[in-house]
Amino acid sequence: MNTGADVSAPGGDGTFETVLVVDFGAQYAQLIARRVREAGIYSEIVSPSITAEEIAERAPGGLIFSGGPASVHVEGAPRIDTAVYDLEIPILGICYGAQLIAQQNGGTVGRTDKGEYGRTTLTIAETDHGPSAGCLLDGLPLEQSVWMSHFDAIVDPPTGVPATASTAEAPVAAFEHPERGLYGVQFHPEVVHTPHGQHVIEQFLHVGCGLAGNWNMSSIIDSAVDLIRAQVGTGNVMCGLSGGVDSAVAAALVHRAIGDQLTCVFVDTGLMRLDEGSQVIETFGRHMGIRLISVDAGVRFFAALEGITEPETKRKAIGELFIRVFEDAKSDLDDVGFLVQGTLYPDVIESGNEHAATIKSHHNVGGLPDDIDFALVEPLRSLFKDEVRKLGTELGLPDEIVLRQPFPGPGLGVRIIGEVTPDKVSTLQHADAIVREELRLAGLEREIWQSFAVLPDIRSVGVMGDERTYGYPLIIRAVTSEDAMTADWARIPYDVLEAMSSRVINEVPGINRVAYDITSKPPGTIEWE
Ligand code: XMP
Protein backbone atom coordinates (compact mmCIF):
# COMPACT_ATOMS: atom_id res chain seq x y z
CA MET A 1 0.00 0.00 0.00
CA ASN A 2 1.20 3.45 -0.85
CA THR A 3 2.39 5.34 2.16
CA GLY A 4 2.84 8.57 0.22
CA ALA A 5 2.25 11.90 1.85
CA ASP A 6 -1.20 12.67 3.08
CA VAL A 7 0.01 15.85 4.64
CA SER A 8 -2.01 17.90 2.20
CA ALA A 9 -5.33 16.22 2.95
CA PRO A 10 -7.74 18.24 5.06
CA GLY A 11 -8.95 16.50 8.20
CA GLY A 12 -6.88 14.47 10.59
CA ASP A 13 -4.44 17.34 11.05
CA GLY A 14 -6.16 18.78 14.10
CA THR A 15 -7.91 21.60 12.23
CA PHE A 16 -11.29 19.96 12.50
CA GLU A 17 -13.29 18.49 15.32
CA THR A 18 -12.89 14.78 14.71
CA VAL A 19 -14.82 11.65 15.53
CA LEU A 20 -13.04 8.33 15.19
CA VAL A 21 -15.16 5.40 14.04
CA VAL A 22 -13.71 2.14 15.29
CA ASP A 23 -14.40 -0.50 12.65
CA PHE A 24 -15.36 -3.83 14.19
CA GLY A 25 -15.67 -5.39 10.79
CA ALA A 26 -19.07 -4.12 9.78
CA GLN A 27 -19.99 -3.12 6.32
CA TYR A 28 -21.54 -0.22 8.22
CA ALA A 29 -18.37 1.55 9.42
CA GLN A 30 -18.07 3.69 6.32
CA LEU A 31 -21.72 4.52 6.40
CA ILE A 32 -21.31 5.69 9.98
CA ALA A 33 -18.31 7.82 8.99
CA ARG A 34 -20.37 9.41 6.21
CA ARG A 35 -23.32 10.12 8.50
CA VAL A 36 -21.00 11.86 10.95
CA ARG A 37 -19.60 14.00 8.16
CA GLU A 38 -23.14 14.81 7.00
CA ALA A 39 -23.60 16.26 10.48
CA GLY A 40 -20.66 18.60 9.76
CA ILE A 41 -18.02 16.72 11.73
CA TYR A 42 -14.89 15.19 10.27
CA SER A 43 -14.67 11.44 10.84
CA GLU A 44 -12.10 8.77 10.20
CA ILE A 45 -12.23 5.00 10.38
CA VAL A 46 -9.70 3.32 12.65
CA SER A 47 -8.95 -0.26 13.55
CA PRO A 48 -9.85 -1.80 16.96
CA SER A 49 -6.14 -2.40 17.49
CA ILE A 50 -5.68 1.32 18.13
CA THR A 51 -4.57 1.90 21.71
CA ALA A 52 -6.09 4.32 24.19
CA GLU A 53 -2.83 6.25 24.07
CA GLU A 54 -3.02 6.60 20.28
CA ILE A 55 -6.62 7.74 20.57
CA ALA A 56 -5.68 10.29 23.23
CA GLU A 57 -2.99 11.66 20.91
CA ARG A 58 -5.58 12.24 18.20
CA ALA A 59 -7.81 13.99 20.78
CA PRO A 60 -11.10 13.19 19.03
CA GLY A 61 -14.28 14.84 20.23
CA GLY A 62 -16.05 11.48 20.24
CA LEU A 63 -15.70 7.80 19.45
CA ILE A 64 -18.15 5.52 17.71
CA PHE A 65 -17.79 1.75 17.91
CA SER A 66 -19.34 0.19 14.81
CA GLY A 67 -21.31 -3.02 14.50
CA GLY A 68 -19.58 -6.18 13.39
CA PRO A 69 -20.23 -9.79 12.51
CA ALA A 70 -18.60 -11.34 15.61
CA SER A 71 -20.17 -12.32 18.91
CA VAL A 72 -18.61 -10.76 22.02
CA HIS A 73 -18.62 -14.28 23.48
CA VAL A 74 -16.26 -15.67 20.88
CA GLU A 75 -12.58 -15.88 21.68
CA GLY A 76 -10.65 -13.72 19.25
CA ALA A 77 -13.59 -11.37 18.60
CA PRO A 78 -12.26 -7.84 18.12
CA ARG A 79 -12.12 -5.77 21.31
CA ILE A 80 -10.83 -2.38 22.29
CA ASP A 81 -8.23 -1.29 24.81
CA THR A 82 -10.36 -0.83 27.96
CA ALA A 83 -8.31 2.23 28.92
CA VAL A 84 -10.42 4.15 26.34
CA TYR A 85 -13.17 4.27 28.96
CA ASP A 86 -10.93 6.42 31.17
CA LEU A 87 -10.14 9.00 28.48
CA GLU A 88 -13.26 11.07 29.15
CA ILE A 89 -14.13 10.99 25.46
CA PRO A 90 -17.83 10.28 24.82
CA ILE A 91 -18.41 6.88 23.18
CA LEU A 92 -21.37 5.66 21.19
CA GLY A 93 -21.57 1.92 20.56
CA ILE A 94 -23.71 0.61 17.74
CA CYS A 95 -24.91 -3.03 17.73
CA TYR A 96 -21.72 -5.07 18.34
CA GLY A 97 -20.08 -1.85 19.57
CA ALA A 98 -22.83 -1.37 22.18
CA GLN A 99 -22.54 -5.00 23.26
CA LEU A 100 -18.81 -4.60 23.68
CA ILE A 101 -19.26 -1.49 25.82
CA ALA A 102 -21.74 -3.42 27.97
CA GLN A 103 -19.47 -6.43 28.28
CA GLN A 104 -16.36 -4.39 29.11
CA ASN A 105 -18.19 -2.30 31.71
CA GLY A 106 -19.99 -4.78 33.94
CA GLY A 107 -23.10 -5.40 31.80
CA THR A 108 -24.25 -8.70 30.33
CA VAL A 109 -24.77 -9.78 26.78
CA GLY A 110 -26.96 -12.82 26.26
CA ARG A 111 -28.15 -14.94 23.40
CA THR A 112 -31.76 -14.38 22.47
CA ASP A 113 -33.74 -17.38 21.25
CA LYS A 114 -34.06 -15.79 17.89
CA GLY A 115 -32.15 -12.84 16.54
CA GLU A 116 -33.80 -9.69 15.30
CA TYR A 117 -33.31 -8.74 11.66
CA GLY A 118 -34.95 -5.92 9.78
CA ARG A 119 -37.52 -3.40 10.92
CA THR A 120 -38.53 -3.50 14.59
CA THR A 121 -40.46 -1.21 16.90
CA LEU A 122 -38.33 0.56 19.48
CA THR A 123 -40.11 1.69 22.66
CA ILE A 124 -38.67 4.39 24.89
CA ALA A 125 -38.44 3.32 28.55
CA GLU A 126 -40.97 4.58 31.09
CA THR A 127 -39.83 5.66 34.53
CA ASP A 128 -41.83 6.84 37.54
CA HIS A 129 -41.26 10.37 36.24
CA GLY A 130 -42.42 9.66 32.69
CA PRO A 131 -40.58 8.56 29.56
CA SER A 132 -36.82 8.50 29.78
CA ALA A 133 -35.57 9.13 26.28
CA GLY A 134 -32.22 10.39 27.45
CA CYS A 135 -30.11 12.47 25.12
CA LEU A 136 -29.98 10.18 22.09
CA LEU A 137 -33.73 9.70 21.73
CA ASP A 138 -34.74 13.13 22.97
CA GLY A 139 -37.55 14.63 20.93
CA LEU A 140 -38.51 11.35 19.25
CA PRO A 141 -41.85 9.53 19.40
CA LEU A 142 -42.26 6.98 22.21
CA GLU A 143 -42.49 4.25 19.59
CA GLN A 144 -40.52 4.30 16.38
CA SER A 145 -39.28 1.98 13.69
CA VAL A 146 -35.60 1.02 13.78
CA TRP A 147 -33.39 -1.38 11.79
CA MET A 148 -31.96 -4.31 13.68
CA SER A 149 -29.46 -6.94 12.72
CA HIS A 150 -28.27 -8.94 15.73
CA PHE A 151 -28.32 -12.32 17.37
CA ASP A 152 -26.81 -11.56 20.79
CA ALA A 153 -28.63 -8.95 22.87
CA ILE A 154 -27.66 -6.79 25.82
CA VAL A 155 -29.44 -8.06 28.92
CA ASP A 156 -27.91 -5.71 31.48
CA PRO A 157 -26.44 -2.37 30.49
CA PRO A 158 -23.02 -1.32 31.86
CA THR A 159 -23.04 -1.06 35.64
CA GLY A 160 -24.86 2.07 36.77
CA VAL A 161 -26.02 2.97 33.24
CA PRO A 162 -29.78 3.08 32.67
CA ALA A 163 -31.52 1.51 29.69
CA THR A 164 -33.52 4.05 27.72
CA ALA A 165 -35.36 1.85 25.22
CA SER A 166 -36.26 -1.73 24.36
CA THR A 167 -37.71 -3.84 21.57
CA ALA A 168 -39.57 -7.15 21.69
CA GLU A 169 -36.32 -9.13 21.50
CA ALA A 170 -33.86 -6.67 23.00
CA PRO A 171 -34.56 -5.64 26.60
CA VAL A 172 -31.78 -3.06 26.39
CA ALA A 173 -32.03 -1.56 22.91
CA ALA A 174 -30.49 1.72 24.05
CA PHE A 175 -28.57 2.88 27.12
CA GLU A 176 -26.77 6.01 28.10
CA HIS A 177 -24.98 7.78 30.92
CA PRO A 178 -24.14 11.28 29.68
CA GLU A 179 -21.95 12.16 32.69
CA ARG A 180 -19.76 9.13 32.01
CA GLY A 181 -19.98 9.65 28.25
CA LEU A 182 -21.28 6.13 27.61
CA TYR A 183 -23.94 5.60 24.95
CA GLY A 184 -25.13 2.48 23.18
CA VAL A 185 -27.81 1.47 20.71
CA GLN A 186 -28.58 -2.06 19.60
CA PHE A 187 -30.20 -0.81 16.38
CA HIS A 188 -28.45 0.74 13.37
CA PRO A 189 -29.02 4.51 13.32
CA GLU A 190 -26.76 4.89 10.26
CA VAL A 191 -29.02 3.07 7.78
CA VAL A 192 -31.88 4.78 5.98
CA HIS A 193 -34.29 2.13 7.27
CA THR A 194 -34.04 3.76 10.70
CA PRO A 195 -36.03 6.94 9.92
CA HIS A 196 -34.83 8.88 12.98
CA GLY A 197 -31.32 7.45 12.83
CA GLN A 198 -29.56 10.65 11.75
CA HIS A 199 -31.24 12.45 14.66
CA VAL A 200 -29.81 9.88 17.07
CA ILE A 201 -26.32 10.29 15.62
CA GLU A 202 -26.57 14.08 15.70
CA GLN A 203 -27.81 14.06 19.30
CA PHE A 204 -24.71 12.08 20.22
CA LEU A 205 -22.41 14.41 18.30
CA HIS A 206 -23.90 17.76 19.20
CA VAL A 207 -25.34 17.13 22.68
CA GLY A 208 -23.36 14.11 23.90
CA CYS A 209 -19.98 15.30 22.58
CA GLY A 210 -20.73 19.02 22.41
CA LEU A 211 -19.39 19.25 18.86
CA ALA A 212 -20.52 22.25 16.83
CA GLY A 213 -19.71 21.02 13.32
CA ASN A 214 -17.01 22.93 11.46
CA TRP A 215 -16.56 20.44 8.58
CA ASN A 216 -18.03 22.14 5.54
CA MET A 217 -16.90 22.77 2.00
CA SER A 218 -15.51 26.23 2.53
CA SER A 219 -13.58 25.24 5.67
CA ILE A 220 -12.28 22.14 3.87
CA ILE A 221 -10.98 24.34 1.06
CA ASP A 222 -9.34 26.78 3.49
CA SER A 223 -7.68 23.94 5.34
CA ALA A 224 -6.55 22.15 2.17
CA VAL A 225 -5.13 25.37 0.74
CA ASP A 226 -3.09 25.96 3.91
CA LEU A 227 -1.85 22.37 3.96
CA ILE A 228 -0.89 22.36 0.28
CA ARG A 229 1.02 25.62 0.69
CA ALA A 230 2.77 24.28 3.75
CA GLN A 231 3.71 21.06 1.97
CA VAL A 232 5.00 22.44 -1.33
CA GLY A 233 6.30 25.87 -0.31
CA THR A 234 7.64 27.52 -3.45
CA GLY A 235 8.14 24.18 -5.22
CA ASN A 236 6.75 23.35 -8.61
CA VAL A 237 3.93 20.85 -8.86
CA MET A 238 2.57 18.65 -11.62
CA CYS A 239 -0.88 17.17 -11.80
CA GLY A 240 -2.08 14.42 -14.08
CA LEU A 241 -5.50 15.15 -15.51
CA SER A 242 -7.38 12.02 -16.48
CA GLY A 243 -10.62 13.70 -17.45
CA GLY A 244 -12.26 12.29 -14.34
CA VAL A 245 -13.79 14.25 -11.48
CA ASP A 246 -11.10 13.46 -8.92
CA SER A 247 -8.07 14.72 -10.76
CA ALA A 248 -10.00 17.78 -11.95
CA VAL A 249 -11.04 18.73 -8.44
CA ALA A 250 -7.58 17.99 -7.06
CA ALA A 251 -6.06 20.21 -9.76
CA ALA A 252 -8.51 23.03 -9.08
CA LEU A 253 -7.79 22.85 -5.37
CA VAL A 254 -4.03 22.88 -5.84
CA HIS A 255 -4.38 25.71 -8.35
CA ARG A 256 -6.35 27.68 -5.77
CA ALA A 257 -3.50 27.15 -3.32
CA ILE A 258 -0.43 27.77 -5.45
CA GLY A 259 -1.58 29.20 -8.80
CA ASP A 260 1.15 29.13 -11.44
CA GLN A 261 3.38 26.76 -9.53
CA LEU A 262 1.05 24.08 -10.95
CA THR A 263 1.31 22.53 -14.41
CA CYS A 264 -1.25 19.93 -15.45
CA VAL A 265 -0.31 17.07 -17.71
CA PHE A 266 -2.83 15.09 -19.65
CA VAL A 267 -1.47 11.70 -20.67
CA ASP A 268 -3.39 10.21 -23.54
CA THR A 269 -2.81 6.53 -22.79
CA GLY A 270 -4.72 5.40 -25.82
CA LEU A 271 -7.03 3.75 -23.28
CA MET A 272 -9.49 6.63 -22.98
CA ARG A 273 -13.07 6.60 -24.14
CA LEU A 274 -13.96 7.74 -27.66
CA ASP A 275 -12.80 11.34 -28.30
CA GLU A 276 -12.15 11.78 -24.59
CA GLY A 277 -8.63 13.12 -25.04
CA SER A 278 -9.67 16.04 -27.20
CA GLN A 279 -12.64 16.75 -24.91
CA VAL A 280 -10.44 16.87 -21.85
CA ILE A 281 -7.99 19.27 -23.42
CA GLU A 282 -10.78 21.51 -24.65
CA THR A 283 -12.76 21.49 -21.40
CA PHE A 284 -9.88 22.05 -19.05
CA GLY A 285 -8.24 24.69 -21.19
CA ARG A 286 -11.53 26.58 -21.39
CA HIS A 287 -12.75 26.22 -17.81
CA MET A 288 -9.80 26.05 -15.57
CA GLY A 289 -7.25 28.48 -16.92
CA ILE A 290 -4.48 26.16 -15.80
CA ARG A 291 -1.30 25.51 -17.74
CA LEU A 292 -1.90 22.18 -19.53
CA ILE A 293 0.52 19.96 -21.42
CA SER A 294 -0.80 17.01 -23.37
CA VAL A 295 1.31 13.90 -24.06
CA ASP A 296 0.32 11.33 -26.65
CA ALA A 297 1.62 8.11 -25.09
CA GLY A 298 -0.66 5.48 -26.69
CA VAL A 299 2.19 3.71 -28.47
CA ARG A 300 4.16 3.35 -25.24
CA PHE A 301 1.16 2.01 -23.35
CA PHE A 302 0.31 -0.60 -25.97
CA ALA A 303 3.93 -1.73 -26.02
CA ALA A 304 3.96 -2.03 -22.22
CA LEU A 305 0.73 -4.03 -22.24
CA GLU A 306 1.77 -6.49 -24.93
CA GLY A 307 1.22 -10.07 -23.80
CA ILE A 308 -0.17 -9.10 -20.36
CA THR A 309 -3.45 -10.75 -19.43
CA GLU A 310 -3.40 -10.93 -15.62
CA PRO A 311 -5.47 -8.03 -14.19
CA GLU A 312 -3.16 -6.99 -11.35
CA THR A 313 -0.09 -7.17 -13.61
CA LYS A 314 -1.94 -5.02 -16.12
CA ARG A 315 -2.93 -2.45 -13.49
CA LYS A 316 0.61 -2.26 -12.17
CA ALA A 317 2.06 -1.93 -15.69
CA ILE A 318 -0.30 0.93 -16.51
CA GLY A 319 0.29 2.65 -13.16
CA GLU A 320 4.03 2.36 -13.52
CA LEU A 321 4.14 3.66 -17.08
CA PHE A 322 1.95 6.58 -16.06
CA ILE A 323 4.57 7.64 -13.59
CA ARG A 324 7.37 7.14 -16.10
CA VAL A 325 5.56 9.31 -18.65
CA PHE A 326 5.17 11.93 -15.98
CA GLU A 327 8.81 11.75 -15.15
CA ASP A 328 9.63 12.35 -18.81
CA ALA A 329 7.21 15.28 -18.97
CA LYS A 330 8.79 16.57 -15.80
CA SER A 331 12.23 16.72 -17.33
CA ASP A 332 10.85 19.29 -19.79
CA LEU A 333 9.68 21.47 -16.92
CA ASP A 334 11.56 23.46 -14.30
CA ASP A 335 12.44 21.55 -11.19
CA VAL A 336 9.18 19.77 -10.35
CA GLY A 337 9.26 17.99 -7.01
CA PHE A 338 5.59 17.23 -6.41
CA LEU A 339 2.88 15.24 -8.09
CA VAL A 340 -0.83 15.77 -7.38
CA GLN A 341 -3.00 12.66 -7.24
CA GLY A 342 -6.77 12.59 -6.94
CA THR A 343 -6.72 9.69 -4.50
CA LEU A 344 -9.95 9.38 -2.48
CA TYR A 345 -10.67 7.90 0.93
CA PRO A 346 -12.34 4.75 -0.50
CA ASP A 347 -9.23 4.17 -2.70
CA VAL A 348 -7.13 4.30 0.44
CA ILE A 349 -9.41 1.92 2.32
CA GLU A 350 -9.87 -0.49 -0.59
CA SER A 351 -6.21 -0.69 -1.53
CA GLY A 352 -5.80 -2.77 1.58
CA ASN A 353 -4.30 -2.20 4.97
CA GLU A 354 -3.55 -4.57 7.80
CA HIS A 355 -7.26 -5.22 8.35
CA ALA A 356 -8.69 -5.22 4.85
CA ALA A 357 -7.90 -7.54 1.99
CA THR A 358 -6.52 -6.02 -1.21
CA ILE A 359 -9.31 -6.21 -3.75
CA LYS A 360 -7.60 -4.30 -6.55
CA SER A 361 -4.57 -2.08 -6.79
CA HIS A 362 -5.99 1.25 -7.81
CA HIS A 363 -3.45 2.73 -10.07
CA ASN A 364 -3.31 5.97 -8.18
CA VAL A 365 -2.55 4.20 -4.90
CA GLY A 366 -1.35 0.62 -4.76
CA GLY A 367 -0.03 0.48 -8.29
CA LEU A 368 2.66 3.11 -7.82
CA PRO A 369 6.20 1.89 -8.19
CA ASP A 370 8.42 2.01 -5.12
CA ASP A 371 11.08 4.19 -6.70
CA ILE A 372 8.72 7.03 -7.43
CA ASP A 373 10.59 10.24 -8.03
CA PHE A 374 8.05 12.73 -6.68
CA ALA A 375 6.54 13.65 -3.37
CA LEU A 376 2.79 13.10 -3.60
CA VAL A 377 0.23 15.79 -2.94
CA GLU A 378 -3.08 14.05 -2.29
CA PRO A 379 -5.54 16.69 -1.13
CA LEU A 380 -8.62 14.47 -1.54
CA ARG A 381 -7.27 11.51 0.36
CA SER A 382 -9.69 11.96 3.25
CA LEU A 383 -12.81 12.55 1.13
CA PHE A 384 -15.63 10.45 -0.24
CA LYS A 385 -16.73 10.88 -3.86
CA ASP A 386 -19.86 12.89 -3.14
CA GLU A 387 -17.79 15.24 -0.99
CA VAL A 388 -15.34 15.68 -3.87
CA ARG A 389 -18.18 16.60 -6.20
CA LYS A 390 -19.46 19.21 -3.74
CA LEU A 391 -15.95 20.53 -3.34
CA GLY A 392 -15.61 20.84 -7.12
CA THR A 393 -18.81 22.85 -7.31
CA GLU A 394 -17.63 25.06 -4.45
CA LEU A 395 -14.39 25.62 -6.38
CA GLY A 396 -16.44 26.79 -9.35
CA LEU A 397 -16.05 23.78 -11.66
CA PRO A 398 -18.89 23.29 -14.16
CA ASP A 399 -21.37 20.41 -13.93
CA GLU A 400 -19.96 18.82 -17.08
CA ILE A 401 -16.84 18.07 -15.06
CA VAL A 402 -18.24 17.63 -11.56
CA LEU A 403 -21.14 15.36 -12.46
CA ARG A 404 -19.14 13.10 -14.77
CA GLN A 405 -19.33 9.40 -14.13
CA PRO A 406 -16.17 7.99 -12.54
CA PHE A 407 -13.63 6.53 -14.93
CA PRO A 408 -10.83 4.30 -13.65
CA GLY A 409 -7.24 5.46 -13.95
CA PRO A 410 -6.23 2.40 -16.04
CA GLY A 411 -9.06 3.29 -18.42
CA LEU A 412 -10.28 0.78 -20.97
CA GLY A 413 -7.27 -1.35 -20.03
CA VAL A 414 -9.33 -2.89 -17.21
CA ARG A 415 -12.44 -3.19 -19.38
CA ILE A 416 -10.73 -5.38 -21.97
CA ILE A 417 -10.31 -8.85 -20.59
CA GLY A 418 -7.11 -10.48 -21.75
CA GLU A 419 -4.46 -8.73 -23.79
CA VAL A 420 -5.08 -5.08 -24.62
CA THR A 421 -4.51 -4.27 -28.28
CA PRO A 422 -5.25 -1.13 -30.34
CA ASP A 423 -7.91 -3.02 -32.32
CA LYS A 424 -9.72 -4.15 -29.19
CA VAL A 425 -9.57 -0.64 -27.75
CA SER A 426 -11.07 0.78 -30.91
CA THR A 427 -13.86 -1.83 -30.88
CA LEU A 428 -14.63 -1.14 -27.25
CA GLN A 429 -14.50 2.64 -27.67
CA HIS A 430 -17.21 2.51 -30.34
CA ALA A 431 -19.41 0.06 -28.45
CA ASP A 432 -18.99 1.99 -25.20
CA ALA A 433 -19.94 5.26 -26.89
CA ILE A 434 -23.19 3.66 -28.14
CA VAL A 435 -24.06 2.30 -24.68
CA ARG A 436 -23.53 5.67 -23.04
CA GLU A 437 -25.32 7.56 -25.80
CA GLU A 438 -28.42 5.37 -25.53
CA LEU A 439 -28.52 5.90 -21.78
CA ARG A 440 -28.22 9.64 -22.26
CA LEU A 441 -31.01 9.63 -24.85
CA ALA A 442 -33.18 7.71 -22.37
CA GLY A 443 -32.47 10.40 -19.74
CA LEU A 444 -30.89 7.87 -17.38
CA GLU A 445 -27.30 9.11 -17.30
CA ARG A 446 -27.55 11.09 -14.07
CA GLU A 447 -29.32 8.47 -11.98
CA ILE A 448 -26.76 5.86 -12.95
CA TRP A 449 -23.44 5.91 -11.14
CA GLN A 450 -21.47 4.31 -13.94
CA SER A 451 -22.42 2.83 -17.30
CA PHE A 452 -19.97 1.33 -19.71
CA ALA A 453 -19.08 -1.64 -21.85
CA VAL A 454 -16.65 -4.49 -21.26
CA LEU A 455 -14.99 -6.57 -23.96
CA PRO A 456 -14.31 -10.13 -22.78
CA ASP A 457 -11.77 -12.46 -24.29
CA ILE A 458 -14.12 -15.07 -25.68
CA ARG A 459 -15.93 -15.47 -28.96
CA SER A 460 -19.16 -17.14 -29.88
CA VAL A 461 -21.02 -18.20 -32.98
CA GLY A 462 -23.81 -16.12 -34.40
CA VAL A 463 -25.62 -15.58 -37.68
CA MET A 464 -26.01 -12.27 -39.53
CA GLY A 465 -27.82 -12.22 -42.83
CA ASP A 466 -27.09 -15.68 -44.12
CA GLU A 467 -23.59 -15.65 -42.79
CA ARG A 468 -22.11 -17.45 -39.83
CA THR A 469 -20.27 -15.07 -37.52
CA TYR A 470 -17.68 -15.82 -34.88
CA GLY A 471 -17.27 -12.67 -32.84
CA TYR A 472 -16.82 -11.13 -29.44
CA PRO A 473 -19.71 -10.52 -27.07
CA LEU A 474 -20.05 -7.11 -25.46
CA ILE A 475 -20.98 -6.90 -21.78
CA ILE A 476 -22.98 -3.88 -20.71
CA ARG A 477 -22.34 -2.80 -17.12
CA ALA A 478 -24.48 -0.14 -15.45
CA VAL A 479 -24.70 0.34 -11.70
CA THR A 480 -26.29 2.59 -9.16
CA SER A 481 -24.22 3.47 -6.11
CA GLU A 482 -23.60 6.15 -3.52
CA ASP A 483 -19.86 5.86 -3.21
CA ALA A 484 -18.68 2.85 -5.27
CA MET A 485 -18.07 0.86 -2.09
CA THR A 486 -21.28 -1.02 -2.76
CA ALA A 487 -23.35 -0.96 -5.93
CA ASP A 488 -26.44 -2.45 -7.47
CA TRP A 489 -27.00 -3.24 -11.13
CA ALA A 490 -29.20 -0.61 -12.71
CA ARG A 491 -32.70 -1.65 -13.74
CA ILE A 492 -32.38 -0.32 -17.29
CA PRO A 493 -35.66 -0.66 -19.23
CA TYR A 494 -35.69 -3.49 -21.76
CA ASP A 495 -36.30 -1.18 -24.70
CA VAL A 496 -33.15 0.79 -23.85
CA LEU A 497 -31.16 -2.44 -23.58
CA GLU A 498 -32.61 -3.54 -26.88
CA ALA A 499 -31.59 -0.29 -28.58
CA MET A 500 -28.06 -0.71 -27.23
CA SER A 501 -27.88 -4.31 -28.34
CA SER A 502 -29.09 -3.80 -31.89
CA ARG A 503 -26.99 -0.68 -32.45
CA VAL A 504 -23.82 -2.30 -31.11
CA ILE A 505 -24.22 -5.39 -33.25
CA ASN A 506 -25.09 -3.42 -36.37
CA GLU A 507 -22.54 -0.66 -35.95
CA VAL A 508 -19.50 -2.30 -34.36
CA PRO A 509 -17.71 -4.86 -36.50
CA GLY A 510 -16.47 -7.89 -34.60
CA ILE A 511 -19.27 -7.96 -32.00
CA ASN A 512 -22.11 -10.42 -32.53
CA ARG A 513 -23.72 -10.73 -29.09
CA VAL A 514 -24.59 -8.40 -26.17
CA ALA A 515 -25.09 -9.39 -22.53
CA TYR A 516 -26.12 -7.35 -19.48
CA ASP A 517 -24.23 -7.82 -16.24
CA ILE A 518 -26.71 -8.25 -13.36
CA THR A 519 -24.21 -8.58 -10.53
CA SER A 520 -24.21 -6.19 -7.60
CA LYS A 521 -21.14 -5.22 -5.54
CA PRO A 522 -20.44 -7.24 -3.50
CA PRO A 523 -20.05 -9.95 -4.71
CA GLY A 524 -18.91 -8.41 -8.01
CA THR A 525 -16.80 -5.29 -8.35
CA ILE A 526 -17.90 -2.48 -10.62
CA GLU A 527 -15.04 -2.90 -13.08
CA TRP A 528 -14.30 -6.37 -14.42
CA GLU A 529 -10.62 -6.27 -13.55
P1 XMP B 1 -14.42 -1.49 -8.38
O2 XMP B 1 -14.20 -2.09 -9.73
O3 XMP B 1 -13.28 -1.77 -7.44
O4 XMP B 1 -14.41 0.07 -8.61
O5 XMP B 1 -15.74 -1.84 -7.78
C6 XMP B 1 -14.83 1.02 -7.69
C7 XMP B 1 -14.77 2.38 -8.34
O8 XMP B 1 -13.41 2.76 -8.57
C9 XMP B 1 -13.17 2.96 -9.95
N10 XMP B 1 -11.83 2.42 -10.18
C11 XMP B 1 -10.71 3.17 -10.22
N12 XMP B 1 -10.53 4.50 -10.12
N13 XMP B 1 -8.19 4.20 -10.40
C14 XMP B 1 -9.27 5.00 -10.24
O15 XMP B 1 -9.09 6.22 -10.17
C16 XMP B 1 -8.30 2.87 -10.50
O17 XMP B 1 -7.31 2.15 -10.66
C18 XMP B 1 -9.63 2.33 -10.41
N19 XMP B 1 -10.13 1.06 -10.48
C20 XMP B 1 -11.48 1.14 -10.31
C21 XMP B 1 -14.27 2.22 -10.66
O22 XMP B 1 -14.50 2.75 -11.95
C23 XMP B 1 -15.42 2.43 -9.71
O24 XMP B 1 -15.97 3.72 -9.85
Give me the CATH number covering residue 226. Answer: 3.40.50.620
Q: Is the same domain home to 145 and 257? A: no
Is residue 302 over pLDDT 70? yes
Domain count, the chain: 3
For residue 415 and ligand 1, the question of a CB distance below 6 A is answered with: no
Q: Is the same domain home to 347 and 200? A: no
pLDDT at res. 372: 63
In this prediction, residues 484-497 reach a mean pLDDT of 94
How far is ligand 1, taken at its centre, from the CA of residue 526, in Å? Answer: 7
The whole-angstrom separation of Cα 124 and Cα 135 is: 12
Of the candidates 145, 177, 208, which is a domain's last residue?
A: 208
For residue 406 and ligand 1, the question of a CB distance below 6 A is answered with: yes
> The domain containing residue 438 runs over which residues?
415-516
Residue 342 lies in a domain: yes
In this prediction, residues 393-407 reach a mean pLDDT of 86
pLDDT tens for each residue of 406-422: 888 899 999 999 999 99
**Which CATH number does the domain housing residue 80 bear?**
3.40.50.880
The answer to whether the CB of 123 falls within 8 A of the CB of 170 is no
Q: Is the same domain home to 190 and 314? A: no
The whole-angstrom separation of Cα 338 and Cα 231 is: 9
Tell me what the pLDDT averaged over the chain comes to: 90
pLDDT at res. 363: 54
Residue 7 lies in a domain: no
pLDDT tens for each residue of 83-133: 999 999 999 999 999 999 999 999 999 987 678 888 999 999 987 777 777
Is the peptide bond preceding residue 131 cis, with omega within 30 degrees of 0? no
Of the candidates 208, 233, 251, which is a domain's last residue?
A: 208
pLDDT at res. 133: 76
Q: How confident is the model at residue 444 (pLDDT cuts 50, 70, 90)?
A: very high
3-state secondary structure of 477: strand
Q: Is the same domain home to 382 and 477? A: no
3-state secondary structure of 45: strand
pLDDT at res. 209: 97
Q: Which residues, 6+ apart, have CB-to-CB distance to 430 below 8 Å? A: 274, 507, 508
The answer to whether the CB of 425 falls within 8 A of the CB of 416 is yes
**Active site (annotated) includes residue 188:** yes
Q: In 289-326, which positions are buried (b, 16+ CB within 10 angstroms) versus exposed (e)?
A: ebebebbebbebbbebbeebeebeebbbbbbbbbbebb
pLDDT at res. 334: 79
Residue 9 lies in a domain: no
Nearest CA to ligand 1 atom 7: 484
Residue 529 lies in a domain: no
pLDDT tens for each residue of 197-251: 999 999 999 999 999 999 999 999 999 999 999 999 999 999 988 778 898 999 9
DSSP β-bridge partners for residue 98: none
Closest approach atom of ligand 1 to CA 359: 3
Least confident among 53-62, 139-148, 391-400, 485-494: 391-400
Q: Is the same domain home to 196 and 119? A: yes
pLDDT tens for each residue of 324-335: 888 888 888 878
Nearest CA to ligand 1 atom 3: 525
For residue 329 and ligand 1, the question of a CB distance below 6 A is answered with: no
Residue 101 lies in a domain: yes
Is residue 58 over pLDDT 50? yes
pLDDT at res. 3: 35
CA torsion angle for 189, 193, 195, 197 (degrees, to 10)? 10
**Active site (annotated) includes residue 264:** no
Is residue 481 over pLDDT 80? yes
pTM: 0.77
Q: Is the same domain home to 96 and 187? A: yes
Residue 410 lies in a domain: no
Phi-psi region of 320 (alpha: psi -120 to 50; beta: other; left: phi over 0): alpha
The whole-angstrom separation of Cα 153 and Cα 482 is: 31
